[in-house]
Structure 1
């Protein structure tokens, strides 16, 4: 496809500056989201660079994801006439402005676990001291559960009352009812 040189230059400059590019698979879209050119021109220019090994393409959910390869970096640097010290944003090492949160970066976890009270079966750990895990424990030693303070006592009887006058559990694997 013939792409005007001005549009191709915009695409290549953006690709070199960022190191990555995203394009929606919509060939009729009048403008690309980040570059001031047709979306079709962006897709076809990146397709050309991919076929020459200068870009790596990933397609997912109707979007193309393009990543610049080292060969593509050299090609675009030569095509755009840029010095070697200029690199894409993806190649710039970012400075950390703050220290990582405690617990990250392989911190000492063993002593911390012992301080909190061990794993299963041990005393409650840190912020988990509340009685929310023990149903009905109000913190005053009264362990009655259920609604209204009544303890929960499930019963496993047949619906008809069970015993000898009932149906005997027909349909529950106990056989047929007694014959009269």
Structure 2
């Protein structure tokens, strides 16, 4: 498909800037972020995909395009950009330095290494008296000693009629 060079350049710049691009499968509208026709965006990406410069994934009426390393080199040459300029998806995020978990006595480390955690609640399930019995007391409220449940074996392949 013939796409005007100015529009192709807008598409390639947007792809290079972010490293990824999305396009809805609706060829009658304009692309929401690039000021050009959505059909031209899809066809330009289809051309790059056939050469292996982008990976295409389609889901829920949307195309998702991801730039490959070969596509990065191609677009850098096509747009006449220096090597130090990279897409936003290739830039590492600088995170503030935090100590590893379990160090410095933080709450998460205490839970992980034997401190207060889910099983060690102050008044939780396991601390309640309904499960623990003192050693001196006998069973309370259990089944009688002569209780012996039996399975009569009815249902498919077991023969016999259901109990009445």
TM-score tier after normalising by the smaller chain length: 0.5 to 0.7
- Give me the whole-angstrom Cα distance separating, in 2, the residues matched to 1:73 and 1:112: 43
Give the number of aligned pairs: 130
- Give me the whole-angstrom Cα distance separating, in 1, the residues matched to 2:84 and 2:163: 85
Q: TM-score, normalised by structure 2?
A: 0.67
Deviations 1:51-78 (A, max 9, x none): 0111011111111110101111111011
* Cα 1:6/1:111, change in 2 over 3 Å: closer
Structure 1 residue runs of 5 or longer lacking an equivalent are 144-152, 154-171, 176-180
1:129 aligned to 81, 105, 122, which one?
A: 122
* Cα 1:111/1:9, change in 2 over 3 Å: closer
Q: TM-score, normalised by structure 1?
A: 0.62
* Cα 1:100/1:28, change in 2 over 3 Å: farther
Q: Aligned-pair RMSD on alpha carbons? A: 3.1
| Larger RCO (CA under 8 A, 6+ residues apart) | 2
Q: How does 1:1-180 map to 2 (within 5 A)?
A: 1-29=1-29, 31-99=30-98, 102=101, 112-116=112-116, 124-125=119-120, 128-131=121-124, 133=125, 173-175=162-164
* Cα 1:23/1:111, change in 2 over 3 Å: closer
Larger Rg: 1
- CA drift at 1:100: 6.8
Work out whether residues 56 and 64 of structure 2, in 8 Å CA contact, stay in contact via their aligned partners in 1: yes
- Give me the whole-angstrom Cα distance separating, in 1, the residues matched to 2:123 and 2:95: 38
Deviations 1:33-62 (A, max 9, x none): 211111111100000000011101111111
Structure 2 residue runs of 5 or longer lacking an equivalent are 103-107, 131-140, 142-160
* Cα 1:114/1:64, change in 2 over 3 Å: same
